[in-house]
Amino acid sequence: MPWQSGGGTGAVGAAEEAGVHEDHGPVRYGPPAPDPGLPVLPELAAVLAAAADRTRPEPPGGGRALREAACGYWDRRGLHGGPENIVAAPGDQPLLLALIAAHGGDVLMPRPSPATWMPQARLLGRPAYQVPTPAECGGVPDPYALLETVRRVRAEGGRPKLLVLSVADDPTATVAPPELVREACEAAVGEGMHIISDETWRDTVHRSRDTVLLSPAEMCPDDVTVISDLCGAFTPAAWPVAVARFPETARGAVRRARTLDILTALGALVAGPLAPAAAHALGEPEAVRERIRQAAGLQAQVAAAAHRAVLSSGALARPPQAGRHLYADLGPLRSRLAELDVTDSMELEEYLTDRLGAPAPGGHRFGDELGALRVRLGTGPLLGATPEEQRESLTAAEPLELPHVERALTTFAAAFGELR
């Protein structure tokens, strides 16, 4: 796709483009609010209610029951290890902040990347660089651009030590192919970098039978820390719990200890009543597995319909493969948008948020240039305005034929149809 850097510009050109996205990059106005997601699963609500009288938070890093549940979750995905390698925190933001602080050196990440990643590095005063992704996906940097960026950073006196990536990506809603993951990880590890793999969205893949997801920890087990925020597939955004899995090495143990120290200093402890609910969800009983399956199937259909509407307007977007978003480039519609006084992603965010009646954060929040007309579009508002409508959408054989979904998609398509 012509709007995504790194697909055909060559390593030097891509790295030069990445260089302007160091920690003094585009202006941001706070991260977008998280998608509230679907109604709470009754089974999880019951577990939370039963623990409501727990007045103390979990110990730093999470109690043993929660950490053992996280071990079981990763063990079922081929990533083995004991609870001594796990840390839990109240959400991915304090967890990632602690992880970055526990590592020395400069931070590299793909462009675009989640809206909270760059601010974490900035808050710690760490130089951070965004590396272009290839044409086919987001979340994982182009390996050649990564190597060239490392070379340039070192030539300028920097110390690139940490790469943060996401195989199932927010904001682009894509899943990186295994060969790209392998090449990028080999490049990073070969340059002495540690990898943080954010796998929050791995269980939201829309068509799991057709999509192969390879965790970097499967191929570089000693050089990858995996993190997952349970709000991706398991719990509501209002229940902040995230877990990290460290390599089973001496160096991994040191980094885990440092991370625990930082979380303790921050007071970043998992709420007592949330821990049993999180552990129950990570155990993946049948009700949880069924909800995840239903949600992925629903999102697959609704996101595909939204994607068709975006393409029909003449805009560009990769087919969404995971999560609850799609990432669109309205650059081909620049002339029409200029007539509406929309000339950059900030103005595009304001225009589409007003027109759609739902948040539509611009690409500048994710590290793209302010002048680029890119936007992340959430699919959550298309599923229904009430919990009852959302539950109906979840269980319907043909959710696109439900009146409330059809109305929402019609409004969505009309907003983009006006831009032709």
What confidence score (pLDDT) does residue 382 get? 96
Strands 374-378 and 325-329: antiparallel
Cβ contact 196:99 at 8 Å: yes
pLDDT tens track, the chain, 420 positions: 333 333 333 333 333 344 434 443 444 445 566 666 789 999 999 999 999 999 999 999 999 999 999 999 999 999 999 999 999 999 999 999 999 999 989 999 999 999 999 999 999 999 999 999 999 999 999 999 999 999 999 999 999 999 999 999 999 999 999 999 999 999 999 999 999 999 999 999 999 888 999 999 999 999 999 999 999 999 999 999 999 999 999 999 999 999 999 999 999 999 999 999 999 999 999 999 999 999 999 999 999 999 999 999 999 999 999 999 999 999 999 999 999 999 999 999 999 999 999 999 999 999 999 999 999 999 999 999 999 999 999 999 999 999 999 999 999 999 999 998
d(CA 197, CA 223): 10
What confidence score (pLDDT) does residue 104 get? 87
Q: What is the largest CA-CA distance in the chain?
A: 60
Nearest to 345 by CA among 366, 320, 315: 366
Nearest to 418 by CA among 352, 358, 374: 352
Backbone angles phi, psi at 123, to 5 degrees: -60, -35
d(CA 85, CA 248): 7
What confidence score (pLDDT) does residue 37 get? 74
78 CB burial (10 A radius; 0-12, 13-18, 19+):
exposed
Q: What single-letter amino acid sits at 64?
A: R
> Which strands make up the sheet holding 160-165, listed edge to edge?
86-89, 242-245, 224-229, 194-198, 160-165, 106-111, 128-132
pTM for the complete prediction?
Answer: 0.91
Separation in Å, CA 133 to CA 159, 174, 258:
21, 11, 31
